[in-house]
Chains A and B, each alone.
Chain A
């Protein structure tokens, strides 16, 4: 099914790349002059600075006698280059090793044979005559100084690439097909597993897959080369009949997708590619990488109409969405994950993904959403001095796992919650991506806390972790109100202990809050009263202050803490508005309003904290 849809994809995007051609970085161009036949020196042009990829012939090769590639091959093949080695002064000099020289000679001979046979097949073509003349007259002995044996060399005549000629394309495609479809003389027709027709079968896939992280020179999508991989001793593609067309097309389509930034994403050692049956469909997949609030809001709104999604599922959907996660194991491609869903279902899943990680910014009264890589980064260690995450400490595969969770509508990995809590306790850093991850992990792994996993405050909840978190935020607000210029807040000091065992911390802090409340009462009695009663109400929600919190409750603690803070931030923003309008503040509002001193830079302070 995977190969089938890749073949479909290749058919719908046909005409981009000729068969057995690939975008390659050509480093040297040998330009032959069409008019001056004979002994004129060819022009050697250095293309290394250009960093441009040119569509050139390619096929995978391996073994002790690798086959040459038409017109675009390494200097070792094209010019019998011996290769550079380190000289006595540390400079690179030409190798004089006899093995290297022999190797270069035999490979060049094979290349010469290949090109000559092409020239012989096209005797009337002026380019073929030029190339043949060059090959005959030219015994390569001198190379440009910087050239090495692995540099790609391509040939042009009067500035036109020879490999771009239609004669060269068809000849090369035939050549590769013949070489790759089993041994000659045997009947190698059979039922193709992909298209289901009786066709000439391949013995190995002709096009290697390029562009997966850590992939090698000759990475194959289907690769059977060890006895344990065979079926009843049948080697290579023997027990996996794939016809020449399907094999080429599927690998070419995959290469095209991997090269197209609109259709692929990288996460750690994985590459994720996606496509739709109808190439014109917009999948909104980019939102995972770069979510724009207004378009994500649309996706989230779509989730509110679940009927539409279900109706779309009920009909046989013409337009399906495919996503493929690929990894590499030495030279084999691993299909780590593979989904096919209707496009409306994809949009629904993306919508749920964003609804589940929504956080509320109380200060600006907006909802925020994060990209997958940003969420994964939030699980890394926070470097206080540099004020950023240390990106090498992101848990392995997390980004890929989160993408997988988004596409499948499934839970993120189970280790996420403990790792994240450990990080929060260790570096006392709380920001929106971390909260978004906490919400996501809680919503998707349990069904118990649905009513708490809303993005805003739930003042009725009696969940012990949540209430303790709210109390912590209130106590911090009291301290801040009483001592606006405080350097180290109680959160900085006690958060990591309070998250695990709130009883020890909260009882002490409550006693400590009394003098603060008296300080507040000196400037504004009603505010102190409101704060005190609010704190008492919160304590009343608890039967007892819990001595220990489980992982889940710890996550709720953080959520409660944040919800309370976001709630106060909103109230403070409104209080500022009211004060600007010249209104009298009520006791509640006075309690929430920021102290006069910090009101001016309140906006900035809120932003830096997050």
Chain B
């Protein structure tokens, strides 16, 4: 390694490990937890959805992302549609066990239709600001991952197509400025974003506990000029055991 390279590396290691991604797409649904059967979206992207986009681009067990803020690049536009879905799910323990017990089980989708409405966002574009943090398994210097991320981002590489809330709502992405280059965002869009809007409680992250249990963490979200600031710490956690009606999830540990 030449001295020049070493010097450049040293400099770059001092940089805050900040990543920025622009993502846009024709549809998005970040479902509110209180209106999730007949889905209604939040007006903006949630931090958990933003983390999903980042992890679709680059994921390593050695590091995690912390979403700091999400900028909304286009004004909110709503759309709604109905879809035929099914009522059953194999995620519940009961369904899983009845599947295991009954080899000849045949699931008739047509018999089990449920129609559900989605009130979604259309024509969305966001700029996600996040930082990279090391986990216990991390051995290499962190800038390594940041640079890997930046290279993948510039190349447009991803493990799976990132999406906005539902798999069907594909997200396109690129480094800062790419949304404007793709002429998704125009100057007029910025003017249409209202100054302040209360959004209510929003999911901060989900904590995964042993035996497939989950604990949800929330924060009070508000949009300031289209920017959602995500606090480091969520509100006090909800008691996971206190959830009325918790049936338990058919998880790998439990079944094994």
Contact = CB atoms under 8 A, between A and B. Distances in A.
A37 interface: no
Interface in A159-191: 181-183, 186-191
Given A228-B88, A408-B78, 7 more contacts: A4-B200, A186-B242, A190-B238, A223-B37, A240-B33, A313-B194, A337-B78
B91 interface: yes
B239 interface: yes
Interface string B232-245: 00011111011111
Contacts of B40: 2, 335, 338
Of B200, B236, B242, most A-chain CB atoms within 10 Å = B242
Interface string A199-235: 0011100000000000000000011101111111111
A250 B78 CA distance: 24
* Residues of B in contact with A, size category: 35 or more
Interface stretch (B48-56, B127-135, B156-164, B247-255): B247-255
A2 B199 CA distance: 9
Interface in B208-256: 212, 214, 216, 218, 220, 235-239, 241-250
Contact of A190 (B32, B199, B239): B239
Interface in A215-264: 222-224, 226-242
A37 B130 CA distance: 76
A541 interface: no
B34 interface: yes
Given A3-B34, A4-B200, A335-B119, A183 B244 contact: yes
In the A-B complex, the 10 residue pairs with the smallest Cβ-Cβ separation, listed nearest first, are A182-B244, A235-B245, A203-B244, A226-B87, A1-B200, A227-B89, A190-B238, A233-B92, A238-B245, A238-B243
A316 interface: yes
B195 interface: yes
B103 to A, nearest CB: 21
Contacts of A333: 38
Interface string B175-209: 00000000000000000001111111100000000
A233 B248 contact: yes
B33 A233 contact: no
A94 interface: no
Interface of B: 32-38, 40, 78, 80, 85-89, 91-93, 95, 114-117, 119, 194-201, 212, 214, 216, 218, 220, 235-239, 241-250
Given A228-B89, A313-B195, A337-B80, A194 B220 contact: no
Nearest to B239: A190
A187 B117 contact: no
A228 B86 contact: yes
B87 A334 contact: no
Interface of A: 1-4, 181-183, 186-191, 193-194, 196, 198, 201-203, 222-224, 226-242, 313-314, 316, 327, 329, 332-338, 340, 408
A332 B35 CA distance: 11
B208 to A, nearest CB: 10
B199 A1 contact: yes
Nearest to B194: A313
Contact of A196 (B216, B220, B237, B246): B220
A181 B244 contact: yes
B34 A222 contact: yes
A2 B87 contact: no
A338 B91 contact: no
Contacts of B87: 226-228
Contacts of A3: 34
B236 A198 contact: yes
A187 B245 contact: no
A188 B242 contact: yes
B119 A338 contact: yes
A484 B249 CA distance: 83
B37 A233 contact: no
Contact of B242 (A201, A224, A332): A201
A334 B195 contact: no
B243 A241 contact: yes
Contacts of A332: 37-38
A316 B250 contact: no
Contact of B246 (A228, A238, A340, A408): A238
A234 B243 contact: yes
Contacts of A196: 201, 218, 220, 235
A241 B36 contact: no
Contacts of B244: 181-183, 186, 188, 201-203, 236-238
B242 A190 contact: yes
A228 B33 contact: no
Contacts of B85: 228
Contacts of A191: 218, 235-238
19 contacts: A2-B35, A182-B245, A193-B200, A198-B238, A201-B243, A222-B37, A227-B89, A230-B89, A238-B246, A239-B33, A239-B243, A240-B33, A316-B196, A332-B37, A332-B38, A335-B119, A336-B119, A337-B80, A338-B119
